[in-house]
Amino acid sequence: MSARVGVLGGTFDPIHCGHLAAATAARDALGLAPVLVIPSRIPPHRPIQPHVSAYHRFAMAALAVSGERDLVVSDDELCSEGPSYTATTLERLQSRGWTASQIFFITGADAFAEIATWKRYPEVLDLANFVVVSRPGHRIEELANRVPELAARLRSAADAADAAGKPFIYLLQAPTPDVSSTSIRERLRHRQPITGLVPPLVETHILQHRLYTAEQLHGQI
């Protein structure tokens, strides 16, 4: 097994440049190879299920990582029954040979602030290192105040060079674009351009299949 594997999970409805920026920043800062980009099958945290099929979301993720060094899309959660829980995904990786200290789960500071609502919290934090990447409007420096019970486990990403043993939560300050899947879907519904918000191949796929519009083609096939 490789020394360090990164994991970026999400609904990716659609995947966008913010996702890629977080993945590449974590890859470069922590020496992760590969970084597995894993679209979820049934995201348990969303009251409304994805707007397009799992097949389209997987295709867009594959197109997004095309040409990106050490980024690889995985259908691990799409091939698994039931809701896509992070803890279950991390345990499957461990069953394939990686240890908790070798796995680095990448998430944004906005999502991590809600970690107490995740399935099997706080146990999930013992299944991998967590890499929390700054997001516009969510400063890394404020995370200790938002999750004070985890302050003792927080580390700078610069301290991860010798990561081993008990997993930690590594904070990574990195520029990521101010974009969200929600805002992209809204723009498409209003026939507004999304150039620069998603990778070019993803934009082509969305427009070709008329995704996220009233005229959506094959959205659930």
Q: List, in order of start, the domains of the chain with CATH numbers.
A: 5-176 (3.40.50.620)
- pLDDT for residue 221: 42
The answer to which of 23-27, 120-124, 144-148 has the lowest mean pLDDT is 144-148
Structure tokens at 193: 């351009």
CA 99 to chain centre: 20
Distance CA 8, CA 131 (A): 10
- pLDDT for residue 220: 47
Position of tokens 């997993």? 167
pLDDT at 167 over 70: yes
- pLDDT for residue 164: 66
Q: Is the pTM of this model over 0.75?
A: yes
The 10 Å CB-count burial string (b at 16+, else e) for 107-116 is bbbeebbebe
Burial zone of 211 (CB within 10 Å; 0-12 exposed, 13-18 middle, 19+ buried):
buried
Burial zone of 208 (CB within 10 Å; 0-12 exposed, 13-18 middle, 19+ buried):
exposed
What are the pLDDT digits (tens) for 175-216? Answer: 999 999 999 999 999 999 999 999 999 999 999 999 999 776
Residue 104 phi, psi (nearest 5): -125, 105
What are the pLDDT digits (tens) for 60-113? Answer: 999 999 999 999 999 999 999 888 999 999 999 999 999 999 999 999 999 999
Distance CA 163, CA 175 (A): 24
Q: Which of 129, 123, 175 is nearest to 156 (CA)?
A: 129
pLDDT band per the 50, 70, 90 thresholds, residue 10: very high
Three-state SS annotation for 153-184: HEEEHHHHHHCCCCCCEEEECCCCCCCCHHHH
Length of the chain measured in residues: 221
Three-state DSSP state, 68: coil
The 10 Å CB-count burial string (b at 16+, else e) for 21-50 is bbbbbbbebbbbebbbbbbbbbbeeeeeeb
